[in-house]
Amino acid sequence: MIAIIDYGMGNLRSVQKGFEKVGYRAEIVNAPEKLVNYSGVVLPGVGAFADAMENLHQTGLVKAIKEIAASGKPLLGICLGQQLLFEYSEEWGKTPGLGIFAGRVRRLPPGLKVPHMGWNQIEIKRQSPLLEGVPDGSAFYFVHSYHVDPADGDVILTTTHYGVRFASIVGENNVFGIQFHPEKSSRLGLQILQNFGKLVERCW
């Protein structure tokens, strides 16, 4: 079963419904000690990086999320959830993140309309089970003003262009991050959630 982490900053129900549509049961969880009972974990999120990290610290979820990542169980960060997986963000100063991936979170370049909102395409840089059945050039729904800048380019699975070419999906071993919202991205977004579900199945 899949746990969707509730730390007060996620569109939890829409992610949960997305998994239900592709045949996977997902439960909303806010107690860190309960995460060990699940075979896969999703970290969603909307809003400010600093507020999100404060909430994760206050609820005791930081240690639990890092333990999930180290355990080999599939972990998926969505939108702000992806950004939280990195070492720090430049949003409103320098705020430390979870540090599961090396690198930082940067604001989109000046002169662009922000947030970057709407459909945009991905360019596949490296194949992954998370991308099974997703063609190169597929479009997904984005809403964000910041993007991840990985220190190691090998973790970049796809890029997207909006004023700058940025990493739109990252992944290494059992940990993945997605900048767009798969739960709002129609059939191909649901395909990605289904692919994550298949990865989780292997841990059941």
Task: Give me the domain span that covers residue 168.
Answer: 2-201
Q: How many domains does the chain have?
A: 1
- State residue 203's pLDDT score: 78
CATH of the domain at 126: 3.40.50.880
Active site residues: 79, 181, 183
- Give the Cα separation of 65 and 102 in Å (integer): 16
Contacts of residue 2, Cβ cutoff 8 Å, sequence gap at least 6: 19, 24, 25, 26, 27, 38, 39, 40, 41, 42, 196, 197, 200
- State residue 159's pLDDT score: 98
The mean pLDDT of 30-53, rounded to a whole number, is 94
Q: Tokens for 191?
A: 């395909």
Checking if the pLDDT of 93 tops 90, the result is no
Residues for the chain: how many in total? 204
Checking if the pLDDT of 45 tops 90, the result is no
Q: Let me know: does 30 contact 58? Beta carbons within 8 Å.
A: no
Instruction: Kindly report the pTM of this predicted structure.
Output: 0.96
Checking if the pLDDT of 90 tops 90, the result is yes
- State residue 154's pLDDT score: 97
pLDDT cut 70: percent of the chain above it: 100
The mean pLDDT of 137-149, rounded to a whole number, is 97
